[in-house]
Structures are given as C-alpha cells and as structure tokens.
A and B are shown apart, each in its own frame.
Chain A
Amino acid sequence: MPKLSYLKAMNRALADSLDRDQSVFLLGEDIRVAASNLTAGLLTRFGPDRVLDTPLSEQAFTNFATGAALAGMRPVIEFQIPSLLFLVFEQIANQAHKFSLMTGGQCRVPVTYVVTGSGSRTGWAGQHSDHPYTLLAHVGVKTVVPAAPTDAYGLLVSAIRDDDPVVFFAPSAALGVREDVDFTTLAPVPVGVGRVARSGDDVTVVAIGHLVHDALSVADELAGHGISVEVFDPRTVYPLDLDGLAASVAKTRRLVVIDDSNRTSGFAAEILAVAAERFTLDAPPRRVTRPDGAVLPFALALDRAIQPDRDQLVAAINAVLEDR
C-alpha cells in the first residue's frame, strides 16, 4: 500500500477541495512556489487565480479572506509561522468569528486558517515555536490539531467545507509522519469527533497532535510492564468530543493529559476541569504540559526541556496508577 505523509495528505486535501468546489481558493505568503511544500503542484494545476501569493500583510489579507467569504468564497489561508496567529488574532477572534452572531445569523464566514508547522520546529527559537491552539479554542473558534495523515486529510477537507471559521494546526513534529493507506479510502473526518488511537483498560491518556505519537510509544513501552494504556486523540480542540472522552474515562477511571500548551488555562487544564465536573476517577488526574508562560529557548537542550516529553508522561501515568 502507498505511504502517505502528513504534509502530502494536506496537499491532497487542498487539491481535492479546489477540484470539487470553485469557491475554494488559497492565499498566503510564498504559496505559489510552495515554500512550505504544502501547496506543491497546486499553482500548475489550478492557476494563479486560485493560488494567490500575498504581500506580507497578514492583518489585511486575513480580513480580505473574511470579505471574500462574505461574498460566497471559501478561502484557505496558509500562515508561515504559528505566531502570526497572534498578529491576526483580532481578525480571526474579533472579526471572522463574530460576524455570524453580531449580524443575527445573516452571514457565514467559511475561512480555513492553516498553520503548517506549529509548535517547536527545532532550532527556530522563541518567536517561531508557539502552539497557541488553546487560545483559539478559548475564544470559541473551531480548532483542529490532527495527529495522523488520514486525519490531516479528513479534517482539512472538513474544515474547508465547514461554514464557520476553522483553524487547522499541523504540528511541525507531525509533518513527517507517514501512514500506509489506500488513497481511495481517504475521506472527510468530522470536526469535533475524537478517536481512540489505542485501546487500553488502566488509564486514559489524552494526547493531541504530534504528542499522540509520543503517547502511543509510551503505551507500547508500558504494555511490557503490564500497564494497559488507552490513548484518546480528540483531534479537535474545540468543540471537544466530550462523549468520546467520557466513554474512555468511564472504562479506565484514570486520566492523564499530555498537551503542548502552556500550563495555565491550557487545553490540559480544560480536560481536567471537565473531568472534575463530570467523571468519577480512582486517582487525581495529571497533566504534562509546557511550563507556565513558556518561551521556547533556542539551544536544543533548552527547547526540549520546555516541551512535554515521554519521560514526564511515564511518570504521570505511574503516579495515577500508584494506589492500584
């Protein structure tokens, strides 16, 4: 079976969406030559009218996309770096997201915002290494962070078809992930639906994005020690798949979250709050996150020291299983 990489899956999702719907177009910086490789081949196939290179004017072109969406188009914006979302936070959170409610439902803003390479890129330091998916979730913008190529394909297609703004994070550490897939089986994945990435009985590990792969290898490792880990991948940060999460935790009654957000008010904090409100647990839950207010330092050892890792995850799992 052919191998599908995460980035190639996204590229296919864009191509299929452009092919299927004339109202879809792409805009962003250096996308015609495909500097990030996301848009490779699309200029040749779909032409310059549908693959629009923009000047470095993130705020204007993000609102430009909102305007085009109000006029019936489905723009897809690629952002070169995750922190550009800080620059256009107003245009997403305060403009695109608010139009539907503020107009009493008169309009729709189907814009997709794609960050190719979110989180640490290894060696890109403080201003290129953020992972602000919690921020978007907090304001209520639909936010997806797929872990696997098939989900990257399926969620990008769904994000583009969605009638609301959707932010799509493609973690840098997941871009190289490959899957054996029959391309004909690639299909949309609904926004807001998680998946059990590995079934287990003793503890639920909630992991998102590239950390799903870390959680899976920890689960493998711990299986050898008689610990059965279930890995739940919400895939969508907002809206959260509460039912899927509840079903997993009802089975294991123990919970650990691994999340590449800063700790305070991060995604893991939300999962733990949900657990406190709704779930019956046999041990206090744990979370593995970036530290509070983290800025990723440049030196490799420091960059790694800030990110949640497998050792921390193993320790957290052992902690919630201590009394067993």
Chain B
Amino acid sequence: MSTADLYRTVRLIRRFEERAIEFVRSGEIVGGIHPYVGQEAIAAGVCAALTPDDVITSTHRGHGHVLARGVDPRQLLAELMGRESGLNKGRGGSMHAADFSLGILGANAIVGAAASIATGAAWAHRRQGRDTVAVTFFGDGAMNEGMLLEALNLAALWRVPVIFVCENNGYATTMPVESAVAGSITGRAEAFGIPAYIVDGQDPETVLEATTAAVERARAGEGPTFMECMTYRFDAHHTFEHRARLDYRSADQVAFGRSRDPVVIQGARLPDDERAAVDAEIEAVLDAAAGFALGSAHPDPAEALKYLYAVMP
C-alpha cells in the first residue's frame, strides 16, 4: 500500500466522520455516532495489511474500520441515516455496519464481544483449509471484559490466526485506562503466551508494519498476535457529549492528544499538490455519498422484522 493510499484512507475516514457529525447535528442521523476522529491510523494501517479474503470484526466506534476495509461510503452513510440502500438495509445503523462481501463480520456494540466471534471465524477458516486471518478491533475498555480474556485463551490454546487490535485511546467513555486496568494491557496478552506489542497508533505506516508482521505470523500457522495501539480520541465518546459536556479530560490533555494527528502525519509524507488532489477527490466522493444517502428511500415499516430469521415455518 502506497503512502498516498494510506493518506487517502485516513483522510476519507476523517472527512466522513466530520460530515457524519454534521448530519447528527442536522438530525439526518438519528441516535448519534461514536466518532473515530483521531484514531484513523489504526484502521488504515491494519486493513492495509490484509487481503480481500481476510475478515474483521469492528466495534461501536467502527466507521473507520469498515471504510478502511473498502466499504462504499455511500452505503455506509445511507446506513447511518437508516435507509433501505444502506449497508445493512437500514437495519443495523452506526454500531452494526457489516459487509460480508468484504469480510466484515459486523461491528459489535457489546464491548468485548467480537473477539470471540473473530476467533471462531478464523478457526473455522483454517479448518476449511483457507489461508485467511481475522482481525478483531476493540478498545481499552474491552480489556476488562472476561469474555475477551477467554477469547485470548482460546486463540492461544488453539493457535488461531487472529490478530487482536486494542485501540487504547485512554478512556472507556469517561473511565481512564489507568483507573481501570490493573497490571498492563500487553501483560494480559502475554500471560496467555501471545506475543504483544505496543504500537504508535497515530502513524499509519507504523501500524501497517506491525500488522504485516502479525499477519505473516498468523498465516504461517504460529497463532495470534496482540497489538496495543496507543491513540487518542479527538472528539466525543459519542455525539451526545456535544450537548452534555462531561468533565473528564482537561483542555491541556485534549490539546496534547490532538497534537499528533494521523491525517497530518501521513499527509506530510505527500507533496502538497498530490495531497490536495486526494482531498478534492474525497470531497467529491463524500458529496456523492451525501446525495445518495439523502436521496435514498426509507425502509417500509411493514418490513420491520424482515431478515429476523433465515427460515421460519
């Protein structure tokens, strides 16, 4: 993946999120979103290391993951607006974006739940003789979910080709990681015999490099790898915070956190004119996405429970 491609991904995610926040404000997106702003390098770097056959699971803060995986921004935006043309036909919304054709086994709104799903999928693929790896994204908060720790154990025990990507943005909603995690995050993975690395989560190239090594290891049959990607959430935990200011991060801390911006870091690696061209291209893509989503039909209430079952007598 080229420098420009990585830049395109982080910039696309950033601008998608900024526009989505506007649509939350204007009421076109109901229920709000968990903005990924500030963490773009992780999704971009990790997904750049994958092949089309690989699979991922995502989180409540998942727009970046699925965009980096190649989801059509038109369909993602339409999904956030609850339209029939959305990725999940308007049945999932912001926290459940899935595109099985791209190996996205769904974003999961239950913190820590997806790691065991990804582990099962990766195990099944290997059983079927496929060469794929699974990546599961989760936050620092998920490190206190027993189910995730159970998944680390299963993955290590059965040498499952799954990569655990912890996005440590310092907070679980308002709970600082140092008040929540005894010991260390990587120490927990290491306790299961899983190689664990602390990675600079603000630099897409660094994340790509670390993930590439983890993918090679998984494909070689050597089992799981754990990456703790250090990052910072530039915006709210959820857009509700834009209305109800919660006092848990100092202005100084936010300013410091924002000082290492993945879009700026990757953008600086491109000549100005090239970067400007990518930026313009992305605005055009997002204009088209907005037009598509706003112009799409709402689902028919008579079909509210369509897709509940694969088969029903």
Contact = CB atoms under 8 A, between A and B. Distances in A.
B147 A67 contact: no
A68 B120 contact: yes
Contact of B150 (A60, A95, A101): A60
A56 to B, nearest CB: 9
17 contacts: A55-B157, A60-B151, A62-B116, A64-B117, A67-B105, A68-B121, A70-B105, A73-B124, A100-B310, A101-B305, A101-B307, A102-B88, A104-B87, A104-B90, A140-B308, A164-B310, A239-B313
Interface of A: 25, 49, 54-55, 57, 59-73, 75, 90-91, 94-95, 99-108, 110, 140, 142, 162-164, 190-193, 239
B123 interface: yes
Contacts, number: 147
Interface in B246-305: 305
Interface of B is mostly: mixed
Given A63-B147, A102-B96, A71 B121 contact: yes
Nearest to A52: B158
B220 interface: no
Interface string B47-79: 000000001000000000000000000000000
B125 interface: yes
Contacts of A63: 113-114, 116-117, 120, 147, 151
A72 B124 contact: yes
Given A57-B150, A104-B90, A64 B116 contact: yes
Interface of B: 55, 86-92, 96, 98-100, 105-106, 108, 110, 113-125, 127-128, 134, 146-147, 150-151, 153-154, 157, 305-313
Nearest to A61: B154
Contacts of A101: 91, 305-308
A65 B201 CA distance: 31
Given A64-B123, A106-B100, A163-B310, A70 B117 contact: yes
Contact of B88 (A91, A95, A106, A140): A106
B239 to A, nearest CB: 21
B298 to A, nearest CB: 14
A57 B121 contact: no
Given A49-B127, A55-B150, A60-B115, 10 more contacts: A55-B154, A65-B120, A67-B123, A67-B134, A70-B100, A71-B124, A75-B120, A102-B88, A102-B92, A104-B87
Nearest to B97: A103
